[in-house]
């Protein structure tokens, strides 16, 4: 639980993988917080005033002070609540910490960015290209898991670490990929380490508490795909 007079509010939106990674960090640390669901079609004054630059979720408000951008928020939680929860998310060793930050940045740039485009493109050709980029990124990430885990259970080794949290926010979307596109994103035949990692991660209490229902993710993704297809046909 948050100690002393700590007050934590998380401004988010249920479908956001970025919000989910913050929720994972909070749960892993055992911190209590107020979850504020944001309507991104009609953004609240709280969101606009807390994140005036990007006007996007997630925003963590700690004792009235806003922190923005999911990776920064996760690092803030880890550094602010030292000694809270089972272990530190970021490695203590400076080199290992740099490696973890590298792979976290890689996930957002090379995997999450094309993943987002898959649901928002206007043509099948654009979707196919985004899917190819995702598959290529997953294959590289398989090597990243091998490097970081050193043969242990998670990117963080024996315990869940920073990279696990960053990637873990997207687990429900990875599972939805098969229903949406007929292909497993983390395929045991092609990326066995990541496939096994996803199953282990999904069994964590924190993951069970915050990961989105896969069926709901599928329905929301289908809605986005149909919406963008209709928009393209009208142009």
Q: Which domain holds residue 51?
A: 6-79
pLDDT (0 to 100) of residue 122? 80
Domain boundary among 50, 79, 108: 79
pLDDT at 192 over 60: yes
Among 27, 49, 30, which residue's Cα sits nearest to residue 38?
49
Per residue in 160-186, pLDDT tens?
999 999 999 999 999 999 999 999 999
Neighbours of 41 (CB within 10 A): 5
pLDDT at 131 over 60: yes
What is the rounded average pLDDT of the residues 14-35? 97
Domain boundary among 79, 114, 129: 79
What is the rounded average pLDDT of the residues 121-136? 91
Domain boundary among 29, 45, 79: 79
pLDDT (0 to 100) of residue 41? 94
What is the rounded average pLDDT of the residues 16-43? 97
Same domain flag for 57 and 157 = no
State how many domains the chain has. Answer: 2
Provide the CATH number for the domain around residue 52: 3.40.30.10
Q: Is residue 229 part of a domain?
A: no
Q: How far lies 56's CA from each of 49, 72, 92, in Å? A: 11, 14, 31
What is the rounded average pLDDT of the residues 86-97? 92
What is the rounded average pLDDT of the residues 146-154? 95
Q: Is residue 231 part of a domain?
A: no
Q: Average pLDDT over the chain, rounded to whole?
A: 94
Same domain flag for 53 and 151 = no
Residue 4 pLDDT level (bands cut at 50, 70, 90): low
Same domain flag for 121 and 216 = yes
pLDDT (0 to 100) of residue 1? 40
Structure tokens at 110: 């090379």
Same domain flag for 41 and 102 = no
């Amino acid at each position: 639980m948050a100690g002393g007079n700590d007050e934590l509010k998380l401004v988010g939106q249920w479908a956001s993988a970025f919000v989910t990674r913050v929720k994972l960090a909070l749960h892993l640390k055992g911190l209590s917080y107020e979850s504020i669901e944001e309507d991104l079609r009609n953004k609240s004054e709280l969101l606009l005033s807390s994140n005036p630059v990007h006007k996007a979720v997630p925003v963590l408000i700690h004792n009235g002070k806003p922190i923005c951008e999911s990776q920064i928020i996760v690092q803030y939680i880890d550094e602010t609540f030292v000694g809270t929860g089972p272990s530190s998310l970021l490695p203590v060793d400076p080199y290992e910490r740099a490696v973890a930050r590298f792979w976290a940045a890689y996930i957002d740039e090379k995997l999450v960015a094309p993943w987002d485009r898959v649901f928002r493109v206007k043509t099948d050709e654009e979707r196919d290209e985004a899917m190819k980029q995702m598959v290529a990124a997953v294959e590289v990430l398989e090597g990243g898991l091998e490097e970081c885990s050193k043969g242990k259970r998670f990117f963080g080794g024996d315990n869940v670490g920073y990279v696990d949290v960053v990637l873990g926010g997207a687990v429900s979307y990875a599972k939805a990929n098969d229903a949406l596109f007929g292909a497993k994103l983390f395929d045991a035949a092609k990326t066995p380490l990541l496939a096994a990692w996803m199953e282990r991660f999904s069994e964590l209490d924190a993951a069970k508490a915050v990961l989105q229902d896969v069926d709901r993710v599928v329905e929301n993704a289908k809605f986005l795909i149909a919406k963008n297809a209709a928009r393209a046909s009208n142009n």
